[in-house]
């Protein structure tokens, strides 16, 4: 459970200049011919390797925009920058990346920021940094400078810009083409009016479908349509709606097989909003075509959208890319995994406190937010992440990790995340040498063996317990020196007190002692907490004192004096020497147990700590002796 908010965004991006939004426009070379038809060329063969038949046959007349002739496969991850990178999104990105790499193709990152109100540059940068942290690097997309000086992304194929908000003229041209060919029309109802009609339909248990105006004739730019277009051109507020075809639409999905949508199921959906931005459906179709995307791999929640996309492609004369819809990642309770889960947990915990007598006035004051805002949150009127995170901080409520940065802050390794995510909905179907299912692999393995054929069809639950086990194994597999360095790096960012408390020349001992106890970096920090205790004030666990110091008529306590003498003479004060001293003592006192436990309680205050030699050595002689003295002094009073 993560206790922290997402890490600062400064690390992966050394210069802090962030994503380069201007640059990628300059390199743009989208060629458009007359009437807005986009230049395309034939897709290179061999793209269809799924377990099912190829998608609809190539349209003879269609040519395809040709960015680079020698890389047939192009996949893309296209998040909307409205928050952090979700683990589901990370899985999609991972699979898209793996497939492109496996096919010697290119993996592209495109930012779908057509929702002007909710998109932010910070969020876009955060998503890129999370991807980079996972090791999922894009060939085409916004340029992201890494801390090691490398730059991920760029516009090597000349298909940018990669922010949809910068591609609006392109969408406008395609939209006009659609209108002029009688496949789209301006509609002037306000969204309030439409919403009202929709509500009415739902109340009457009818499926709402936007009624196509009588004067609209599919495929004809007639007088009625021209009149509407003129009104739109004159500046009247409108949306553009697509004239959906009246025939059945068949999607050939590489994972699911043939998916048919009966004629009449779709209504004339909006392709351009009143603010002039394209809707998702329209932008994806235009971009996937103009950016040369050959394979669209995305979560199954998009399956129902696909017929719209196919219809749009046909109307625009575009090719249909290969589709592969991946199963969804669910919570353990089978609900959809969502960042709202954080709000749910925070709300539930705070309500518990309220039930125990906490007043909302006090809570709002403690949280530093207006009471009305808290009331709205508690009444489920919103799922504010900011409020949830404040509650988590103030009331020490662990929020579930949902986003990639949550896992990073919680001390997970990117390689463990990728391995675990790689097994959610995909499986190599291979055995290890001893005949067990192969399930531990790295990115290199994934890019070498990934295939669409082995993507599953059933939703999977995100089992944090198994992830934790994977992470523990990944930590265990790290060489000691690497663990030490990476754990230190993590501590400097997330547990700076610990990083400062242990001199760097003693860190290796700490790391060695902590490694087996660290299922996550945070666990490791917990196991090392003895090191940050204040020598003069750390508490003693009464039960441990009773059991290991006072029991047997104070045998443990008496032993401490002997230990103090021997430790004071230890030179150098290092694990090997200290281990030798403890060994000697154990021979005189009937075993290691009766020796180690009293000392452990004395220097750590509890009956639990990493192995004593390392624990002592990390503290150093003066701190260790000071603690021993303090314990002896306190116990004898």
Partner RNA sequence: GGCCCCAUCGUCUAGCCCGGUCCAGGACGUCAGGUUCUCAUCCUGAAAACAGGGGUUCGAAUCCCCUUGGGGUCACCA
Tokens of 289: 């075509």
At residue 257's C-alpha, the angle toward residues 255 and 258, to 5°, is 145
Site for RNA in 367-406 (CB under 7 A): none
How is residue 504 annotated by DSSP? Answer: G
Contact residue for RNA among 143, 328, 491, 628 (CB under 7 A): 328
Residue placing its CB nearer to RNA in the complex, 41 or 512: 512
CB of 364 to RNA, least distance (A): 29
Contact residue for RNA among 260, 361, 444, 562 (CB under 7 A): 260
Q: Are 261 and 142 in contact (CB under 8 A)?
A: no
Residue placing its CB nearer to RNA in the complex, 102 or 360: 102
Is 339 part of the annotated catalytic residue set?
yes
Residue placing its CB nearer to RNA in the complex, 331 or 371: 331
Residue placing its CB nearer to RNA in the complex, 122 or 301: 301
Q: Are 336 and 328 in contact (CB under 8 A)?
A: yes
Contact residue for RNA among 435, 479, 539, 590 (CB under 7 A): 435
CB of 358 to RNA, least distance (A): 32
Q: Which of 636, 430, 629, 435 lies closest to 535, judged by CA?
A: 629
Contact residue for RNA among 517, 547, 621, 623 (CB under 7 A): 517
Consecutive H or E run containing 144: strand 141-145
Q: Which of 393, 387, 460, 367 lies closest to 420, judged by CA?
A: 460
Site for RNA in 130-189 (CB under 7 A): 189
CB of 217 to RNA, least distance (A): 22
Per-residue contact flags (x/-) with RNA for residues 604 to 633, judged by CB under 7 A: ---xxxxxxx--------------------
Using a 10 angstrom Cβ sphere, with 0-12 exposed, 13-18 middle and 19 or more buried, the burial of residue 459 is middle
How do beta strands 151-154 and 141-145 pair?
Answer: antiparallel
Residue placing its CB nearer to RNA in the complex, 563 or 582: 582
Contact residue for RNA among 26, 35, 250, 304 (CB under 7 A): 304
CB of 17 to RNA, least distance (A): 25
Site for RNA in 80-109 (CB under 7 A): 80, 82
CB of 241 to RNA, least distance (A): 8
List CB contacts of 141: < 8 A, sequence separation 6 or more.
108, 109, 110, 111, 128, 152, 153, 154, 162
Distance CA 481, CA 51 (A): 45
Site for RNA in 437-466 (CB under 7 A): 437, 439, 454, 456-461, 463, 465-466
How far, rounded to the nearest angstrom, does the alpha carbon of residue 500 sit from its chain's CA centroid? 30
Contact residue for RNA among 178, 270, 525, 617 (CB under 7 A): 270
Using a 10 angstrom Cβ sphere, with 0-12 exposed, 13-18 middle and 19 or more buried, the burial of residue 543 is exposed
CB of 586 to RNA, least distance (A): 7
Q: How far is residue 130 from each of residues 84, 106, 373, measured CA to CA in Å? A: 8, 19, 30
Contact residue for RNA among 26, 29, 35, 118 (CB under 7 A): 118
Contact residue for RNA among 335, 351, 448, 481 (CB under 7 A): 335
Contact residue for RNA among 273, 447, 449, 558 (CB under 7 A): 273
Site for RNA in 47-66 (CB under 7 A): 51
Contact residue for RNA among 303, 416, 502, 628 (CB under 7 A): 303
Distance CA 162, CA 155 (A): 9
Residue placing its CB nearer to RNA in the complex, 43 or 125: 125
Residue placing its CB nearer to RNA in the complex, 217 or 267: 267
Distance CA 275, CA 238 (A): 9
Tokens of 207: 């499926």
Distance CA 314, CA 319 (A): 7
CB of 61 to RNA, least distance (A): 29
Site for RNA in 402-431 (CB under 7 A): 423-425, 427, 429
User: Total number of residues binding RNA (CB under 7 A)?
Assistant: 89
Catalytic residue among 339, 342, 349, 515: 339
CB of 269 to RNA, least distance (A): 6
How far, rounded to the nearest angstrom, does the alpha carbon of residue 32 sit from its chain's CA centroid? 36
Distance CA 488, CA 496 (A): 9
Residue placing its CB nearer to RNA in the complex, 219 or 476: 476
Under rule CB under 7 A, residue 214 binds RNA = no
Q: How far is residue 70 from each of residues 10, 59, 90, 96, 99, measured CA to CA in Å? A: 37, 21, 28, 19, 16
Residue placing its CB nearer to RNA in the complex, 59 or 461: 461
Distance CA 145, CA 129 (A): 10
Site for RNA in 222-251 (CB under 7 A): 239
For the annotated catalytic residues, the residue numbers are 339
């Amino acid at each position: 459970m993560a206790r922290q908010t997402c890490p600062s965004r400064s690390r992966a991006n050394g210069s802090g200049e962030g994503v380069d939004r201007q640059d990628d426009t300059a390199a743009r070379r989208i060629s458009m011919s007359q009437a807005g038809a986009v230049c395309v060329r034939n897709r290179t063969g061999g793209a269809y390797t799924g377990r099912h038949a190829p998608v609809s046959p190539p349209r003879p007349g269609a040519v395809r925009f040709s960015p680079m002739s020698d890389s047939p496969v192009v996949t893309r991850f296209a998040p909307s920058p409205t928050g952090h990178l979700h683990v589901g999104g990370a899985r999609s990105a991972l699979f898209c990346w793996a497939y492109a790499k496996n096919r010697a193709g290119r993996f592209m990152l495109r930012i779908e920021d057509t929702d002007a109100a909710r998109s932010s540059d910070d969020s876009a940068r955060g998503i890129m940094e999370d991807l980079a942290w996972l090791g999922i690097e894009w060939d085409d997309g916004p340029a992201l400078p890494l801390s090691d000086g490398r730059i991920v992304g760029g516009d090597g194929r000349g298909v940018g810009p990669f922010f949809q908000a910068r591609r609006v003229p392109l969408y406008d041209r395609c939209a006009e083409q659609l209108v002029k060919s009688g496949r789209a029309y301006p509609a002037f109802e306000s969204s309030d009016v439409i919403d009202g009609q929709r509500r009415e339909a739902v109340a009457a248990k009818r499926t709402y479908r936007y009624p196509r105006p009588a004067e609209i004739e599919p495929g004809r730019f007639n007088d009625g349509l021209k009149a509407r277009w003129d009104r739109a051109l004159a500046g009247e507020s409108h949306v553009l709606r697509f004239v959906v075809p009246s025939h059945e639409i068949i999607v050939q999905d590489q994972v699911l097989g043939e998916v048919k949508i009966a004629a009449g199921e779709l209504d004339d959906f909006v392709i351009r909003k009143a603010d002039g931005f394209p809707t998702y459906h329209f932008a994806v179709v235009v971009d996937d075509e103009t950016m040369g995307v050959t394979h669209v791999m995305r979560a199954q929640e998009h399956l129902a959208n696909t017929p719209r996309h196919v219809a749009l492609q046909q109307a625009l004369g575009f090719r249909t890319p290969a589709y592969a819809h991946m199963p969804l990642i669910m919570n353990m309770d089978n609900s959809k995994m969502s960042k709202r889960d954080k709000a749910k947990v925070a709300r539930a915990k705070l309500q518990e406190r309220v039930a125990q007598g906490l007043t909302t006035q006090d809570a709002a004051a403690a949280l530093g937010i207006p009471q009305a805002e808290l009331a709205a949150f508690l009444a489920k009127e919103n799922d504010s992440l900011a409020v949830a995170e404040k509650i988590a901080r103030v009331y020490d409520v662990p929020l579930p990790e949902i986003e990639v940065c949550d896992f990073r802050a919680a001390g997970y390794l990117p390689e463990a995340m990728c391995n675990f995510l790689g097994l959610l909905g995909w499986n190599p179907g291979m055995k290890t040498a001893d005949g067990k299912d192969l399930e531990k692999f790295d990115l290199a393995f994934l890019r070498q063996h990934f295939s669409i054929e082995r993507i599953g069809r059933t939703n999977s639950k995100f089992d944090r317990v198994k992830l934790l086990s994977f992470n523990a194994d990944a930590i265990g597999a790290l060489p000691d020196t690497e663990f030490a360095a990476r754990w230190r790096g993590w501590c400097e960012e997330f547990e700076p007190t610990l990083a400062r408390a242990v001199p760097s020349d003693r860190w290796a001992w700490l790391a060695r002692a902590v490694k087996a106890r660290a299922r996550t970096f945070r666990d490791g920090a917990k196991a090392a907490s003895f090191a940050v205790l204040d020598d003069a004030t750390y508490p003693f666990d009464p039960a441990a004192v009773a059991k290991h110091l006072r029991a047997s008529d104070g045998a443990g306590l008496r032993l401490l004096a002997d230990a103090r003498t021997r430790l004071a003479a230890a030179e150098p004060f290092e694990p090997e020497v200290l281990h030798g001293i403890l060994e000697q003592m154990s021979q005189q006192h009937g075993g290691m147990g009766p020796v180690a436990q009293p000392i452990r309680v004395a220097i750590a205050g509890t009956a639990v700590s990493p192995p004593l030699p390392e624990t002592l050595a990390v503290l150093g002689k003066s701190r260790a002796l000071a603690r021993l003295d303090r314990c002896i002094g306190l116990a004898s009073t």
